[in-house]
Amino acid sequence: MVKLVETDVECCQIISEDVEDAIILEGSPELGLIGNILGWLLVEQLKMKQIGFVDSKDFPPLAVLYNGVTLHPFRIYNAENIVLFLSDFIIPPNVAYDMANGIISWAEKNKAKEIITFNSVVVREKTGQIAAAANSADAVKKLADMEIPIMPFGNINGLSGTLMTRSMIKGIPASCLFAEVLNQYPDPRAAATMVDVLNKKLDINIETEPLLKEAEEIESRLKELANTVQEGQESPAYS
């Protein structure tokens, strides 16, 4: 039986198997739900095994359903020496600092090689590019050598931002990848633009077709909704 190890911080408990020398990915839903959408894709295509979960009284009252089975809303997965922290809810601001410290403590204990977190940036018009930032000049150079555009200025919100600063203090290499989104709605097409970068960076082979198909379905539903609203506006108020 695999031993589950508990890591305690002020706000939460991380209960999981130990996985040493791994690359840690963090996917929590920010604008466009990029990290969450991409995380689910990785779980399915890499056939990742759940090795633990993060628990806290400060989390929203929530259970996730998947194929009719309830799952913890913040799970930890592993495959091919990649560990994924995957949340199905937005991390409350009052929890983000301690949550980041918990993940960093887990990373230190397991001698993690690197942390990669996913986020988004709102644009007026998409170019299809991925931007990146890192917590050291050396890490920025590695991203630039991969021909990934570097985000020169701005803020990193949510758990991603706190992970970047806490990992910097602890000397753990970390980077944040940004997809372009137009608004707050789920954007599988934007998440798909990150796949090529991840395939190259992690030496894996993730396919984008499921996300592109999902994007087409969402876009079709939005178009139908827009047409319905427009038709309603054009209809006379009285007959």
* Per-residue model confidence as pLDDT tens digits over 3-18: 566 565 667 888 999 9
Q: Which helix (H) or strand (E) holds 28?
A: none
Q: Is residue 29 part of a domain?
A: yes
Angle (deg, nearest 10), helices 34-45 and 209-234: 140
Expressed as residue numbers, the domain containing 56 is 5-207
* Per-residue model confidence as pLDDT tens digits over 14-69: 899 999 999 999 999 888 899 999 999 999 999 999 999 999 888 889 888 888 99
Q: Is residue 227 part of a domain?
A: no
Using alpha carbons, list the distances in angstroms from residue 92 to 28, 58, 226. Answer: 11, 8, 32
How many CB atoms within 10 Å of residue 147? 8
CA 161, CA 183: separation in Å to the nearest integer?
Answer: 20
What's the confidence (pLDDT) of residue 227? 65
Q: Is residue 221 part of a domain?
A: no
Question: 30 CB contacts (<8 Å, ≥6 apart)?
Answer: 90, 119, 120, 157, 158, 160
- The three-class DSSP label of residue 87 is strand
Q: Is residue 80 part of a domain?
A: yes
* Per-residue model confidence as pLDDT tens digits over 146-205: 999 999 888 898 899 999 999 999 999 999 999 999 888 888 888 888 998 999 999 999
CATH code of the domain containing 78: 3.40.50.10900
What's the confidence (pLDDT) of residue 237? 43
Question: Can you name the residues that pair with 82 across neighbouring β-strands?
Answer: 23, 79
Would you state the torsion angle of the CA atoms of residues 190, 195, 200, 206, taken in this order, to the nearest 10 degrees? -170
pTM, entire model? 0.86
How many CB atoms within 10 Å of residue 82? 19
Going by DSSP bridges, is the β-strand pair 23-27/69-71 parallel, antiparallel, or unpaired? Answer: unpaired
Name the amino acid, one letter, at 71.
L
Going by DSSP bridges, is the β-strand pair 5-8/13-16 parallel, antiparallel, or unpaired? Answer: antiparallel
Contact 43, 56 (CB under 8 A): no
Domain count across the chain: 1
- The three-class DSSP label of residue 161 is helix
Band (pLDDT 50/70/90 cuts) for residue 238 is very low
Contact 146, 83 (CB under 8 A): no
Burial of 104 (0-12, 13-18, 19+ CB in 10 A): buried
* Per-residue model confidence as pLDDT tens digits over 137-157: 999 999 999 999 999 888 898
Q: Is residue 187 part of a domain?
A: yes
